[in-house]
Structure 1
């Protein structure tokens, strides 16, 4: 490592407290403190110790202009700024490293088309934001400046090789770190009974928790269809914000399960919601690696997820969770029906927690700083 801290610019457009990428950046900044001097290049972000911010907030109208104006503003702000390395979390070509936390847009579109009818697929094709994202993605991954891509799962690495032919030596799988002391079964379950009483749920009832924003992509419709097909008394608690939440509430009512589904909105202290549940249910259509899976594992919850979720790489079938296709609501229903009580899930908790114990923030920081040092040495 160099004698002086590495001057690192991290590019992320805005802060969403419920966003997985934002939580990764916040944790990475804290973990890198001391060895790396971090400047966050952003439109807006929650104030946090351990970094300084460089605000880039040009005027825009509409989503395409928003993305284009930010990319252009970042390029101008970084020109001559004297950073050792620029690590972008946006599809912007003026970076040394790109963290593919949002995955591959081409793959996301391919997965999304699976659940759309002909007219909806046509609408997807005509959406100018997708055309911009595809062009920006191609420009990024063919940029001569790009020296490494940080992948948060093996799945994303494989997709980048498939779609862009990037070589192994430029693709580094670095899993996110999770503080297993902050997220622990003991802390999570401290208010288990009180939380269940709040929603009128019996202590012995099986409870599945969905956590996340973006209900369409992350599979709330599949959650509801599976719960309805499973029958019984299993409850589902949906934690997260979505502007179309009423659509899913209507779906629950149409399926006859409104009394077993609780939409509680976005929650600041999500740990209590893990603690009152028995498993995390995240049949996401596409997710490079959801941080909520790490948090759930740490809290001793088995994880039910999909094949196009990076978290599937951590699942050992029947031991710490289950993996099915994102649209296989019948497959998920069978899993739910086979475990109608909270006690039926409890035996998987210890294995679930053991899954993430090696993936500490310190281990993540060590791999990141090792990569930074390697790139700087090669440059010299």
Structure 2
């Protein structure tokens, strides 16, 4: 079986989309598929030779340049001549360029959507609505993303397919030692320091819990300028309780030390951070936005709050701080859910099934 994957660019294997693409390519090659991989624009990583299959750099520039469209069409003709009948594309420009150019060469195109469309602009939406008529399927990583994709890009329901991200099994996660009364409960968040992540809400909530006598500490793992957040912690009198660790290549090492894991973003498609929390057996408090409510079941593996509800966030932190047995119960339920529903094998099997259906449809049409 042959499949071509095309991305705008491949930055590094730790990014959300890139990490899932890497798992998909490895899984397909292990199954014996012939995987062709190309990027519109090269990066240091895509040129490094570390990707599991060769990476072809197409050198595509602006969408407004006729040369970009001609380059993609020539690549489509080459794929078709080598027996490739299906292309799976990722990111914005490839989603515009590939569907019509591939179709001219007799190749079907699958697009991927992995967020709530924060990148949509009038220009992109108009282009996507035009070229979307040649899209054979759209793979979305949550029901919430599928809804926004269908509404925004005018794609019919029968072209929308939800395939959740896949994650390897961590095996047994060591149980943290029982905390004594003098030990602080460790609250943690993995998120880049951007306004959309609303980390200031979490700092304020921790400040409320501490003011009410809670023995808590907060760890923030993520890249960005922490100055404003550090100033807020000082203003609230909790500077000694809050630590900023910056961007980390393996945040799991920090997550293992969390007692309570939080994500209080304004918007999420399908949160890798929440899955990482649950894989490590941590109870989760998160905002009811995007695909979060598809992962976190209220009262079972965590709690859901509305965006900006600092009082609710503080209340749930206090509850979990005071009830270590509830933390263990919720953490265990979350880990079980990830193992059953979000494994790499499940993700790979669903992709293969869709690829095969579309290939069979193409063969029948011929």
Would the alpha carbon gap of residues 362 and 247 (structure 1) be closer, same or farther in structure 2, given more than 3 Å must change?
Answer: same
Unaligned runs of 5+ in 2: 100-108
Partner of 1:148 in structure 2? Answer: 137
Instruction: Quote how far apart the aligned CAs of 1:141 are.
Output: 4.0
Name the structure, 1 or 2, with higher relative contact order (CA <8 Å, separation 6+): 1
> Aligned pair count?
333
Structure 1 residues 259, 76: closer, same or farther in 2, change over 3 A? Answer: farther
Query: What is the match of residue 53 of structure 2?
Result: 51
Alignment of 1:78 with 2:78, yes or no, is no
Q: Which runs of 5+ in 1 are unaligned?
A: 60-64, 109-129
Residues 341 and 275 of structure 1, relative CA distance in 2, 3 Å threshold: farther
Question: How far apart are 1:214 and its partner, in Å?
Answer: 4.8
Residue 264 (structure 1) aligns with: 245
* Preserved contact between residue 113 and residue 149 of structure 2 (Cα < 8 Å): no
> Taking structure 1 as reference, are residues 234 and 168 closer, same or farther at Cα in structure 2, changes over 3 Å only?
same
- When structure 1 is superposed on structure 2, of 218-227 and 325-334 the one drifting more is 218-227
Paired with 2:278 and 2:143, the residues of 1 have a C-alpha distance of 19
Specify whether residues 36 and 171 from structure 1 end up closer, same or farther in structure 2 by C-alpha distance, changes over 3 A only. farther
> Which residue number in structure 2 is paired with residue 135 of structure 1?
123
Give matches, 1:1-380, under 5 Å.
Answer: 5-33=1-29, 34-41=32-39, 42-44=41-43, 45=45, 47-57=49-59, 72=68, 75=72, 78-82=75-79, 83-91=84-92, 92-93=95-96, 94-95=98-99, 96-105=109-118, 133-143=121-131, 144-181=133-170, 184-186=172-174, 204-231=183-210, 232-242=214-224, 244-340=225-321, 343=324, 345-358=327-340, 359-380=342-363
Mapped contact 1:307–1:326 kept (Cα < 8 A)? yes
Kept after mapping to 2: 8 A contact 1:222/1:326: no
Deviation string, structure 1 residues 13-47 (Cα, Å, up to 9, x no partner)? 23145421122112222222223514142522354
1:193-249 C-alpha deviation (Å, 9 max, x unpaired): 8xx9xxxx998421122113253222212211221222222211111111x322222
Q: SS at the partner of 1:272?
A: helix
The two structures have a TM-score, normalised by structure 2, of: 0.81
- Write out per-residue CA displacement over residues 294-339 of structure 1, whole angstroms, 9 at most, x where no aligned residue: 1211111122111113132121112201111121111111111223
- Measure, in 2, the Cα distance between the counterparts of 1:214 and 1:16: 19
* Cα distance change on mapping 1:76 and 1:221 into 2, 3 Å: farther
- Is residue 13–residue 22 contact of structure 2 (8 Å, CA) maintained in 1? no
Q: Note if contact 1:237-1:261 (Cα within 8 Å) is conserved in structure 2.
A: yes
Aligned partners of 1:12 and 1:202: how far apart in 2?
52
Corresponding residue for residue 105 of structure 2: none
Question: Is the contact made by 2:6 and 2:89 (CA closer than 8 Å) also made in structure 1?
Answer: yes
Contact 2:60–2:68 (Cα < 8 Å) also in 1: no
